[in-house]
Chain A
Amino acid sequence: MTTEMAGRAVAVDGHVLEVSGVTLRFGGLTSLDRVDLRMRRGEVLAVIGPNGAGKTSLFNSLTGAYVPQEGRIRFRPGRGGEHELRGRKPFRVSRLGLARTFQNIRLFGALTALENVKIAVETRQKTDPVSIMLGLPHARRAERESDRRAHEVMRFVGLGHRLNELASSLSYGEQRRLEIARALATEPELLLLDEPAAGTNPTEKRDLEELIRRINAELSVSVLLIEHDMRLVMSVADRVMVLNFGRKIAEGTPGEVQRDPAVIEAYLGSSSAEDTAVVTGMLSGRGGAGAGDEGEERA
């Protein structure tokens, strides 16, 4: 697969992300229970698990939206250095090079698609409000630069023809792409995608698969992917990690995970022979559209 030849990524090897013993509780509910996770630079790692397993909670803990009570989250950007992410403010996490999309799409609906992306580009700029008000040359240059860069990203995700549409008027699949574009515009090293295929049609799914590959290979971005669509997971992921009730129950290549009895039981609640066959079919992406496609509820 393409990931082995990722350009920038191979320059620095080792792990881009190391999570150890992360525990997140809401009152009596433990939604993450001593989760460990190591992610190699340049890989595509999928996180799967039944509804309510704690996948989104994991993303929220990584990006600073939730602060886990215990554990360490170490992020090592390619330029060197090591950063503890636990308890860091979301915007600081984003500036370190970690970008995310949301399970329930959260675009800025009253702005155009291009403006959504420009906002992301501009978080990396430093022009001060006084030079903007005075229209100083460097402020104008920054504005042009953000425009150019946003156009580039929009073309990369294949939305070059929808620049001036309102974000809220795009189709569901396009909105998911726009969220990816907005995340990419911050030039991340690690991209977290929360169910990017939920609610999209088969053609859009195929395009998405292609897009994830290109993000990984051409931009050398490591991808952490939550997805219920097993066909997608099996085709793009280098490794898969399975969560259930906040606990990691399996980890390995897609093939290994599919045959893991613990995983089959998690999806099923029992392990009788013929049920196992059904689930194995489902996990390999042949039968049905994938478990729990209904997980796409919008807030």
Chain B
Amino acid sequence: MKATTVSRGKGGGPDMSAAARLRATRWYQQPRWRRLAALLGTALLGAQVTGREGSSSDIFLALKENTTGTGMWIWLGGALLVWVLREFVSEQLAAGWAGVREGARAGASGPLGRGRELWRSLPWVRVAALTALAVFLVLLPLLVTRHWQQVLVDQIGIYVLLVIGLNVVVGWAGMLDLGFIAFFAIGAYSAAYWTGSLPVEPPVVLNNFLVIPVAVVTCLVAGVLLGAPTLRLRGDYLAIVTLGFHEMVYLAARNWRDTTGGTSGASVDRFEIDLGFWSYRWGLDPVPYYWLLLVVIALLIFLFLRLEHSRVGRAWTAIREDEVAAAATGVDTVRFKLLAFAIGASTSGVAGVIYASKLGFINSELFVLLFSILVLSYVIFGGMGSIPGVLLGAAILIWLPEAMRDQVPAQDRFMYLGALLVVMMIYRPQGLLPSRRRRRELEMAEEGAGGADSLGTSEGRRV
């Protein structure tokens, strides 16, 4: 059914018909109050979590301290400020912005329009901008401290690889995967096994680089084995299955101690190239790993972008939007979903190999469920289905807690992250830089025409 147009009138004039008056929303029924309530609720929670810790002798101590101190008022004030800015101020800004956009579209001048025109029409502008970005990225680790170099490699680099892979599954094929880190673990343990670092001996010991294709194949097979029986399920069931799969892999790694090393772990050899005339060993310095990751990431982005704008990417969009119509048009939905799942799994596996080979050590606790959730939240925060979006999302959400490291107590950092995610989901559910297709789907879903999220949509409708 088409969504009934909700009149935003303030109560309704005397000439309104009775039906119209019944249908009209009152001022207190407007969604903005719901959003305010959600924000204030988050703020209260934030005040409690980041405030004083409790004590076992006086169980209400923390509650008392945190509701009388200034902390709570700062949180509430912040929430109110965000709300006022978004509900009242940004409307004007948005109107101005839309004006600029219209101008740009009409071909009129205006700084933005001209910039976009240049970008489109002149290939050398594009080349120059991309070259500048590439040079910046290559030189970036040389400009920062050792601590940030570690963050760039161990966290941002690895997670960027992961979000690129998860984006294929969630953003493009529209399946909710809560067990993505399971494949990461499989990749990491493959690296440990094939380099001869686990208690069990491999048939042949391989170089870390040679483990990458082996891990890709292993994860492909694992992805297909898991996916083939389950991808017929609707999105929410699939999420539970992947969650269960993650726990299985994690518990196997943890409890199968003679084989995996369990929680005490195993040390892994680092990357090494030996071409006879030239050889190189990656050591403790993070910068060479950074460059290695940069190459892998750039390569994957290049390949995946091609996929997005091909028959495969279009088939994924079709499945995501309306599985019934896609199947009726002849799209083999199960096969394409399986493909997305396998591609995501093997990307995760590659990340696992690199991670293990960089750390030089793995144990089961590096693969807990939290990381699966974090990868998913980076993808959603950045903008599902858009590669620049998910890259930015991962970079920002990893950078932020690190940057807050010295300002706030370590255990509170995730509360701030959570609050940020809540605000984001209230005001910008499509993410920072959403893909065009995804944004349109979300708009259509709001108008009530079709579903946009990856939680199986079309199934419930009658054909």
Select which of B307, B314, B328, B331 is within 8 A of A115 by beta carbon: B314
| Interchain CA distance A94-B327 in the complex, whole Å | 8
Complex alpha-carbon distance, A120 and B330, angstroms: 7
A66 near B463: Cβ-Cβ < 8 Å: yes
- Among B314, B437, B461, the residue within 8 A (CB) of A299 is B461
Whether a CB of chain B sits under 8 angstroms from the CB of A119 is: yes
In whole Å, how far is A93's beta carbon from the nearest beta carbon of chain B?
8
| Residues in A neighbouring B326, C-beta threshold 8 A | 108, 119
Contact of B330 among A60, A66, A94, A118 (CB under 8 A): A94
The answer to whether residues A132 and B329 also contact, given A66-B463, A106-B322 and a CB cut-off of 8 A, is: no
- Are B440 and A110 interface neighbours, CB within 8 A? yes
0/1 interface trace, chain A 138-176, chain B, CB 8 Å (1 if under): 010011001000000000000000000010100000000
- Given the complex of chains A and B, what is the CA–CA distance between A297 and B317 in angstroms? 25
Question: B314–A122 contact, CB under 8 A?
Answer: yes
| Chain A residue nearest to B458 in the complex (CB) | A106
A182 touches which of B321, B329, B461, B462 (Cβ 8 Å): B329
Q: Which of A75-112 contact B (CB under 8 A)?
A: 89-91, 94-95, 99-100, 102, 106-111
Who on chain B is nearest to A185 by CB? B329
B10 lies within 8 A of chain A by Cβ: no
A126 to nearest B CB, angstroms?
10
> Given A90-B327, A109-B440, is A119 in contact with B463 using a C-beta cutoff of 8 Å?
no
| A123 contacts partner chain B, Cβ-Cβ < 8 Å | yes
Tell me how far the C-beta of B458 lies from the nearest C-beta in chain A, rounded to whole angstroms.
8
Docked complex Cα distance between A91 and B324 (Å):
9
A127 to B339: give the CA distance in the assembly, Å: 13
A125 in the interface (beta carbon within 8 A): yes
Whether the pair A146, B311 counts as a contact (CB closer than 8 A) is: yes
Per-residue interface assignment for chain B, residues 174 to 203, with 1 indicating a CB less than 8 Å from any chain A CB and 0 otherwise: 000000000000000000000000000000
Complex contact B306–A133 (CB within 8 A): yes
Q: Are B315 and A133 in contact (CB under 8 A)?
A: no
Within 8 A of B (CB), among A241-299: 297-299
Within 8 Å of chain A (Cβ to Cβ): is B449? yes
Q: List 5 A-B contacts (CB under 8 A).
A: A94-B328, A95-B330, A111-B437, A134-B303, A166-B440
Q: Assuming A91-B331, A129-B339, what are 20 further A-B pairs, CB within 8 angstroms? A: A65-B463, A90-B324, A91-B328, A91-B332, A102-B325, A102-B328, A102-B463, A108-B317, A108-B325, A111-B318, A120-B329, A123-B315, A123-B331, A124-B330, A129-B312, A132-B311, A168-B444, A186-B330, A297-B1, A299-B461
Q: Which residues of A contact B (CB under 8 A)?
A: 56, 60, 63, 65-66, 89-91, 94-95, 99-100, 102, 106-111, 115, 118-120, 122-125, 127, 129, 132-135, 139, 142-143, 146, 166, 168, 182-183, 186, 297-299
